[in-house]
Amino acid sequence: MANLWHWIALNWGPLGIGTCIGGAFSLFVWFIPNRKEWKVERQEKAEKRLDSKVLNALADQSLWKGPRPMTGAGILAVRSAEIAQHLKMDNNLVADSLERLADQGRASNQGGTLDNPSPYGYSCLDKTSTQI
Give how far Cα 29 sits from Cα of 24, 33, 78, Å: 9, 7, 48
Residue 12 lies in a domain: no
Q: Would the CA dihedral through 101, 97, 50, 57 be positive or negative?
A: negative
Q: Is the pLDDT of residue 95 over 90?
A: no
Q: Would the CA dihedral through 8, 9, 14, 18 be positive or negative?
A: positive
Residue 63 lies in a domain: yes
Beta-sheet strand order (sheet of 120-123): 78-79, 120-123, 107-111
Model-wide pTM > 0.75:
no
Q: Phi and psi for 37 in degrees, rounded to 5?
A: -65, -40
pLDDT of residue 49: 94
Q: What is the mean pLDDT of residues 114-126?
A: 67
Residue 126 lies in a domain: yes
pLDDT tens, position by position, 34-79: 777 888 889 999 999 999 998 888 888 788 787 777 777 777 778 8
Q: Give me the chain's average pLDDT, please.
A: 77
Q: How many domains does the chain have?
A: 1
